[in-house]
Amino acid sequence: MTLSPDTPNRQWILNRRPQGDVRPDDFDLVVGTLPELTDGDVLVRTLFFGYDASQRIWLTDDGGYMDPIMPGEPMRCGGIGQVVASQNPAYQPGQIVEGFMAWQDYAVMRADGPMPLRHLPDAPYPLSWNLGVFGVGGLTAYFGVTDGLKVKAGDTVVISAATGATGSLACQIAKLLGARVIGIAGGPDKCRWIVEHAGCDAAIDYQNEDVGARLAELVPGGVDAYFDNVGGDMLDTLFLHMAPKGRILICGAMSQGYTDVKVQGPTNYMRICTHQLTVQGILLFFYADEIPAAAMQLGQWVQEGRIHVEENRHEGFEKAPELLPTMFTGKAPGKLVLHVADPA
């Protein structure tokens, strides 16, 4: 591929900080030129954009656990790309990599930072699965279930946002480890899906059922482990249904919309005291060194047909902004990815 400083580089730029729900018109399409590389930089042509709820946090003034995206900057995302130029000897043109990218045709990447730029292997599965089952969702599910919650055979595990990229894999991994798994999802179709495809033994429809009443019915002895992707009232309800010495993993807070880093905290937290609960957080960054081994284990389960991979795939660079709000409005199950180009 021949590149010159005049090669057009389409970018979706944040034009203003969203107030409340993020909207497609918070972004403008501009055509820039290729950036100059300095020592250590890697220039990547983007192939896939992944969607994560935390992108909404990066759009707040605070930014959460990463620097906030400033108006005038392209929108950050997890992505897959192909190296087209490099000033880092560890990355050569033609190689396929995964890491933090942005909604643009060409992105300058660094190999350092909290999540190093990852070389992707040639593999007999779709490239985009490196954003889903072998990406943030699958890996967080793996570490959350195995290390955070230490799920073991015989546990009763509850998982919220169970159709999501993370939740759907957390359900399957907990089931593989011998747990009884109860998923929580919105609506009868999604509840059916988590039983048929995500390994759940039972489902709770949080939009049409009383979650507390259903937990009392399904788990009268209390929940051993809760993988929390939702926060808010649902977390509060779960506190009342945990078994003594139960474990809670705080992974996300989808119910809070992520429009602000300040979220509704639980009022039933004294259950931590009275029931000797353990509440732990997870951030994939902390497991960076263990990712290759985890990806290998997930790969083996996928190859053996023991994990169902669901992808919610869309096509076309121009769609980037319109897909982001769907993270909070009940998108289809699985990992949301946008295919923007093919490898050269």
Ligand X SMILES: NC(=O)c1ccc[n+]([C@@H]2O[C@H](COP(=O)([O-])OP(=O)(O)OC[C@H]3O[C@@H](n4cnc5c(N)ncnc54)[C@H](OP(=O)(O)O)[C@@H]3O)[C@@H](O)[C@H]2O)c1
Q: Does position 55 bind ligand X by CB under 6 A?
A: no
Beta pairing class for 242-250 and 223-228? parallel
Nearer Cβ to ligand X (11/163)? 163
Residues 171-210, interacting with ligand X (CB under 6 A): 185-186, 190, 206
Binding piece for ligand X, criterion CB under 6 A, among 76-84, 97-105, 133-141, 235-243: 133-141
Q: Which stretch binds ligand X (CB under 6 A): 22-30, 74-82, 171-179, 324-332?
A: 324-332
Does residue 86 interact with ligand X by CB under 6 A?
Answer: no
Residues 6+ apart with CB under 8 A from 330: 186, 187
- Which residue of 300, 330, 343, 344 would you call a contact of ligand X, by CB under 6 A? 330
Tell whether residue 263 is a contact of ligand X (CB under 6 A).
no
Distance CA 332, CA 46 (A): 24
CB of 32 to ligand X, least distance (A): 29
* Sequence-ordered strand ranges (E) for the chain: 9-14, 27-32, 42-50, 76-86, 96-102, 106-109, 118-119, 156-159, 180-185, 202-205, 223-228, 242-250, 278-281, 311-315, 335-339
Rounded CA separation 137/334 (Å): 9
> Which residues is 203 bridged to in the sheet?
183
Under the binding rule (CB under 6 A), the answer on residue 309 touching ligand X is no
Residue nearest to ligand X (CB): 252
Considering only residues 109, 127, 136, 225, which one is a binding residue for ligand X as defined by CB under 6 A?
Answer: 136
User: Is 52 among the residues that bind ligand X (CB under 6 A)?
Assistant: yes
Residues 161/190, Cβ–Cβ less than 8 Å: no
Contact 237, 215 (CB under 8 A): yes
Residues that bind ligand X (CB under 6 A): 52-54, 136-137, 140, 161, 163-167, 185-186, 190, 206, 229-230, 251-255, 282-284, 327-328, 330-331
